[in-house]
Structure 1
Amino acid sequence: MTGALNHHEIGQVTLLTNPVSGHGNAPRAAERALARLRQRGVDVVQIVGADAEHARRLVGDALDRGTDALVVAGGDGVITECLQALATTDIPLGIIPAGTGNDHAREYQIPREDPEAAADVVAAGWAETVDLGQIRDRRGVTKWFGTVAATGFDSLVSDRANRMRWPHGRMRYNLAMLAELSRLRLLPFRLVLDDRTGSLREIKADLTLAAVGNTRSYGGGMLICPNADHADGQLDITMVHCASRTRLIRLFPTVFTGTHVDLDDVTTARARSVAVDSAGISAYADGEYACQLPVTISAVPGALRILRPHSSVNPLPG
């Protein structure tokens, strides 16, 4: 299933750049996209977020002033900050991919190595209406996300990487993963799934990780939820239960093809919402820290409009 695709007139956009995305490549990508947008007759207002809080404030001001689209030159982390403002509005999101993972761009077939081509997608003005995920913590605080929410081994690795001060970039994450592999253990999880009919199903299991996907991939192309559909009003849940380091290492390459879901160590489910709990475990979404478990994660149908190439989606008039 795909979401409705409608045409938007793009006359003026706000371009937000995260200067540290992609190890500092985002400003160059933004410059190239800016030049192409102006070539296409689009008026561009530039904003640069010094940090997450600053970016949120700038985005809020831009939406208050009015814009035909909010365009992000950066990665999934800055995109998720923008989702907090764009969710349930009529203002579409445009993406100039310039991060390390770029899983939003991957899902919506936005050119990841060509800022001019990505800018052409924005100028063309075709926006698909898609779902977002929403995480609600025990205090009732909510956070929107676009791709995958991770709990368990993945979030433990992210916790460790965030505590490390050296090295920088991908190597820090790799070292954190090796450290967590040395401590690999099954974690007691409780999940309560709510399907389309409103009936509840409880799962109590010792798991390596539980990933909840609105889209298929995280971590730069790992198809953790390979059958997820971003416009079906549901979430895909992938549960890995593997206590052996050797078996987990052998499983890892299959995540890039999505064939891990056929293995005995992996089970999957689908639900419109899922409550997730495991003591002492964090939830990450779009690669960013969200909150501590327990959480309730829900699919919110039609919560976002995203500018994307229209060739692979049947456009609707409008």
Structure 2
Amino acid sequence: MSTRQVIEKVTVLVNPLAGHGHAPVAGRKGVARLRERGVAVTEIIGTDADHARMLARRAIDDGTDALVVVGGDGAISIGLQAAAQSGTPVGLIPAGTGNDHAREFGIPVGDPVAAADVIADGEVQESDLARITLTDGAVVWAGTIVASGFDSLVTDRANRMSWPKGPMRYNLAMLAELTQLRPLHYTIELDEESFQVDATLVAVGNGRSYGGGMQICPGADKTDGLLDVTVVDYGRRSRLVRLFPRVYKGTHVDLPDVQTYRSRRVRLQCDGITAYADGDRVGPLPVTIEAVPAALRILSHTPA
């Protein structure tokens, strides 16, 4: 369901590091277009993620018509923490490397002017969000995928590496983790069942993809009030190497060593494993993840 909202004033949050530094250029083009469309723009930029979140929350409390985020999924995650359940819509001007949120909502990627037009047009969609609760009670909101297991171990390793820069660092981290592949002993609690499994990874999806289009939860529906869970059973390295290319089309779920589930609430426990959400570190397992219906209002066009 969509509604129309008059957009007269927006607050724009720019992540200057997104897209290898391309976000400021996209931001200038998007802001110029918004002003051409008669929208008043206030720009904010935080010194770090916490500061950016505080500024975004303040703008929402002050009554901005929309919070517009320029950047990739990490920047959008900051916006989600501020805007979740606030009633204030979020607009996206994609300028990251993955842009999975933008793809999920059909927002133009690589065209900041077209993305700004979506915002100015004022068509608002409702979407679920995933609410992650850590053992200390901290809450993190996620729009796409909560990742844990092999992929989060790779990210942990890549984050510890100072060389090389760019995507090659992630590729080397993946190779290193493949040499140390081991079964991960998960306890998974769903609405209707609880079980233990030796897995390679477990992904919980409010949306379908992460990592720039990897359809790890291809059946996820961001409006059904449920989370999709993809469990990749532990197997030999060669099996994992063959599985990953299929993730881009979502056909990995047809393999016998991949199990899928749906649940409103999911609890994951596995020693030594970190959860990541929308590409950012959340914290160590265990975590509890719940689908929260209509927690996000987002400016996007209804698919034809």
TM-score, normalised by the number of residues in structure 2: 0.98
Aligned with 1:96 (options 93, 98, 111):
93
2:46 equivalent to 1:49: yes
Instruction: Give the root-mean-square deviation of aligned CA atoms.
Output: 1.0
Aligned with 1:243 (options 235, 243, 248):
235
- For 1:106, the aligned partner's letter is R
Three-state SS of the structure 2 residue aligned to 1:251 is helix
Q: Runs of at least 4 residues of structure 1 off by over 2 A?
A: none
Give the Cα–Cα distance (whole angstroms) in 2 for the partners of residues 51 and 67 of structure 1: 21
What is the number of equivalent residue pairs in this alignment?
304
- Residues 129-172 of structure 1 show CA distances to partners (whole Å, capped at 9, x for unaligned) of 11000111112211111000001101101111111112222222
Structure 1 position 243, deviation (Å): 2.2
Structure 1 position 42, deviation (Å): 0.7
2:178 equivalent to 1:186: no
Give the Cα–Cα distance (whole angstroms) in 2 for the partners of residues 61 and 130 of structure 1: 23
Aligned to 1:209: 201
- For 2:107, the aligned partner's letter is I
Structure 1 position 50, deviation (Å): 3.0
Structure 1 position 177, deviation (Å): 1.0
Aligned to 2:250: 258
Q: Which stretch of the first structure deviates more once superposed, 239-248 or 289-298? A: 239-248
Unaligned runs of 5+ in 1: 195-199, 313-318
Give the Cα–Cα distance (whole angstroms) in 2 for the partners of residues 102 and 311 of structure 1: 18
- Residues 222-279 of structure 1 show CA distances to partners (whole Å, capped at 9, x for unaligned) of 0000000000000000000132111111111100000000001101000001110001
2:52 equivalent to 1:60: no
- For 2:104, the aligned partner's letter is E
Unaligned runs of 5+ in 2: none
Q: Which stretch of the first structure deviates more once superposed, 50-59 or 116-125? A: 50-59
Aligned to 1:74: 71
Matches within 5 A, 1:169-318: 169-194=166-191, 200-312=192-304
Aligned with 1:152 (options 149, 160, 172):
149
- For 1:232, the aligned partner's letter is D
TM-score, normalised by the number of residues in structure 1: 0.94
Give the Cα–Cα distance (whole angstroms) in 2 for the partners of residues 311 and 156 of structure 1: 36
Q: Which stretch of the first structure deviates more once superposed, 52-61 or 288-297? A: 52-61
Three-state SS of the structure 1 residue aligned to 2:162 is coil
2:164 equivalent to 1:167: yes
Aligned to 1:135: 132
Give the Cα–Cα distance (whole angstroms) in 1 for the partners of residues 159 and 112 of structure 2: 29
Give the Cα–Cα distance (whole angstroms) in 2 for the partners of residues 143 and 34 of structure 1: 29
- Residues 39-95 of structure 1 show CA distances to partners (whole Å, capped at 9, x for unaligned) of 111111111223212211221221222210000000111111111110101100000
In percent, how many aligned pairs have the same letter?
Answer: 58
Q: Is the 8 A contact 1:95 1:110 kept in 2?
A: yes
Give the Cα–Cα distance (whole angstroms) in 1 for the partners of residues 301 and 285 of structure 2: 37
- Residues 190-220 of structure 1 show CA distances to partners (whole Å, capped at 9, x for unaligned) of 10101xxxxx301211000000000000010
2:31 equivalent to 1:31: no
- For 2:251, the aligned partner's letter is T
Q: Which stretch of the first structure deviates more once superposed, 273-282 or 166-175? A: 166-175
Give the Cα–Cα distance (whole angstroms) in 1 for the partners of residues 94 and 80 of structure 2: 15
